[in-house]
Amino acid sequence: MKKSALLFLYVFIGIVCLNAQDAKVKYLLSAEQFSDKLKENPQATLLDVRTPDEFAKSHLKDAINIDWRSKGFLNDASALPKDRQVYIYCLSGGRSHSAADKLRTQGYTVYEMEGGILQWQKAGLPEVKGDGKKGKDGMSLNEFDKMVSSHPYVLIDFSAPWCGPCKKMKPYIDAIEKEMNGALKVVVINTDENMTLVKKMKIYSIPYLQLYRDGKLKWENMGFTDEKYLREVVNDFK
């Protein structure tokens, strides 16, 4: 009897987990699916949860900007009509996922764009170009090329203040640079402040690391890089 009850419990938990996973997949859309859904639902709310500076440079047509990291996010978002679906995005998907989870607890039906506006741009979908007055153009590609050639050994760290994996990697990236005693130069590039460069280099996700030896790219990795592997890579090319 006990075995049957346990078996039933395990099956029930499995079904619940599968249903939860299916629900997550249902509300996570590719850039193309996100675009199609917006066309099907012209009355939906399109929400950009990036910073005002990011929004000023480029955004999706008809998008509303409410900064996820602002203290008044929930208060501002509470003005959104709950009888309309919300389509939400950020730069690469991290902030919009957190914001979507929060909005769902408030009774909203929320669809997320996987990979954020970077994937939207990669797909060649249209966006509204702002005047950029709220932000800076950032580094040009020519300036970037000069920078990676200014030192024999350069590690480029494309990151952003809101990026969790970037924050986790920073302590050991700093430690590696210090240990190499000037033999390695680490340059941190804030993607929020250098969107022109990010687009030209086709960087669609962060963290993103590049390693240059004498101005030539030797290694790159998009996504989280653990300390052991990064140390091995740096030692291989030094």
Give the separation between CA 90 and CA 26, rounded to whole angstroms: 19
Of the listed 113, 148, 163, 233, which one is catalytic?
163
3-state secondary structure of 27: coil
Pairing of strands 45-48, 86-89: parallel
Of the listed 29, 160, 166, 173, which one is catalytic?
166
Residues 6 or more apart whose CB falls under 8 angstroms from that of 65 comprise: 48, 49, 50, 52, 55, 59
**Catalytic (active site) residue 90:** no
Q: Which amino acid is at 95?
A: R
**HSE of 144 in the Cβ direction (CA atoms, 13 Å)?**
22
Give the separation between CA 205 and CA 226, rounded to whole angstroms: 17
Q: 189's torsion region: left (phi>0), alpha (psi -120 to 50) or beta?
A: beta
Would you state the structure tokens that stand for residue 153, as one six-digit string? 């050994």
What per-residue string of b and e applies to 107-132 under the rule 16 or more CB within 10 Å gives b? ebebbbbbbbbbbbbeeeeeeeeeee
Give the separation between CA 164 and CA 48, rounded to whole angstroms: 19
Peptide bond into 126 cis (omega under 30): no
**Catalytic (active site) residue 163:** yes
For the annotated catalytic residues, the residue numbers are 163, 166
